[in-house]
Amino acid sequence: MTTNDRDFDQLFSLVTEMRKVMIDMKNDMETRFDQVESRFSEMDKRFDDMKSNMETRFLKVDKRFDEMKEEHVVMNRRIGNLETAQLETNARLSKVEDSQMKTAAALTAIADAIKERTK
């Protein structure tokens, strides 16, 4: 072999080896990118799950607030009814007190009249 042939063979071997190294690097990079993409997919799934869980929790909280609001309306009605009943009871008590005072005054007048007659 001549020097030119030997140089060409060495150059060809070097280029072939370099090509193999570059292909290996490319394959390694593709593998790493696939791993990164896989991790991002996992993270996306986890975030989607978290979002779904949060939406479910928010819906439950909204439902509880709605129930509390309904209960609050019912309690306000009951309190209003109790206040009305208390006012009616106070009015009745006032009438009873009035009638007791009139009865006491009448009994006092009768007692005074009986005292006058017995004298």
User: For 89-100, how does the pLDDT look when each residue is reduced to its tens digit (9 = 90+)?
Assistant: 999 999 999 999
pTM for this model (two decimals)? 0.50
Task: Report the C-alpha gap between 72 and 53 in whole angstroms.
Answer: 28
Domain count, the chain: 1
Task: Report the C-alpha gap between 80 and 71 in whole angstroms.
Answer: 14
Average pLDDT over residues 12-28: 96
Domain housing 119: 1-119
